[in-house]
Amino acid sequence: EAQVTQNPRYLITVTGKKLTVTCSQNMNHEYMSWYRQDPGLGLRQIYYSMNVEVTDKGDVPEGYKVSRKEKRNFPLILESPSPNQTSLYFCASSLLSGSKRGEQYFGPGTRLTVT
């Protein structure tokens, strides 16, 4: 089954404790992206990647890091989480060409709470 998976689905952590949220897709998509969803603000892009070893900042990259060492994986790293990073995080992927280009497939979301 074609899908985007994220782990963990729920995470409660403390300020300053480094964490990683994994994202994996099995559709051979070139493009992957991370969003955060906050009430009243909709979805905001954190980072995106057009291919392996190619990443770029989105609208709200501060406090986050990403890497794209393999095509299928795109982990989100919070080196020193702070309470304002408490949010619902979504990973997404899509093709870059063809009739389905730009149609993003989303993961189930990771609810992060930083205390």
Binding positions for another protein, rule: CB under 8 A: 31, 33, 35, 40-45, 48, 50, 58, 90, 92, 94, 96, 101-104, 106-109
CB of 17 to another protein, least distance (A): 27
Nearest to 91 by CA among 48, 54, 51, 39: 48
Task: Name the residue nearer to another protein (CB basis): 31 or 64.
Answer: 31
How many angstroms from the chain centroid is the CA of residue 33? 5
CA atoms 65, 69, 71, 72: torsion sign? negative
CB of 40 to another protein, least distance (A): 7
Assess contact for 45 and 34: CB atoms under 8 A. yes
CB of 14 to another protein, least distance (A): 27
